[in-house]
Structure 1
Amino acid sequence: MSDLAAELTAFMTRYEQATNSHDIDRVVPLIVPDAVYWFSDGSHRGLGEIGGAIERTFAAIQHEVYEIRDLEWIVMTADHAVCRYRFSWTGLVDGRPRSGGGRGTNVIVRRDGTWKMQHEHLST
Structure 2
Amino acid sequence: MNPEEFVKSYEKALGTQDWNVVEPLVSENVSVTFSNGTIHIGKENVRKAFEKNFSLIKNEKYAVENIKWLVKDKKYAVYLFEFNWTGIIGGKSESGNGIGTSVLIKENTRWKLLTEHLGRKPD
What amino acid is aligned across from residue 34 of structure 1 in structure 2?
A: N
The total of aligned residue pairs comes to: 119
Cα distance in 1 for partners of 2:14, 2:58 equals 13
Which of 27, 30, 41 pairs up with 1:35?
30
Counterparts of residues 11-90 of structure 1 (less than 5 Å) = 11-39=6-34, 40-90=36-86
Structure 2 unaligned regions, length at least 5: none
Which one has a larger percent helix, Structure 1 or Structure 2?
1
Structure 1 residue 36: Cα displacement: 1.1
Partner in structure 2 of residue 118 of structure 1? 114
Cα distance in 2 for partners of 1:101, 1:53 equals 18
Structure 1 residue 84: Cα displacement: 0.4
What amino acid is aligned across from residue 95 of structure 1 in structure 2?
A: G
Among all aligned residue pairs of Structure 1 and Structure 2, give the percentage whose two residues are the same amino acid.
31
Structure 1 unaligned regions, length at least 5: 1-5
What amino acid is aligned across from residue 22 of structure 1 in structure 2?
A: Q
Moved over 2 A (4+): none
Structure 1 residue 41: Cα displacement: 4.5
Partner in structure 2 of residue 109 of structure 1? 105
Aligned-pair Cα RMSD in Å: 1.1
TM-score (norm 2): 0.94
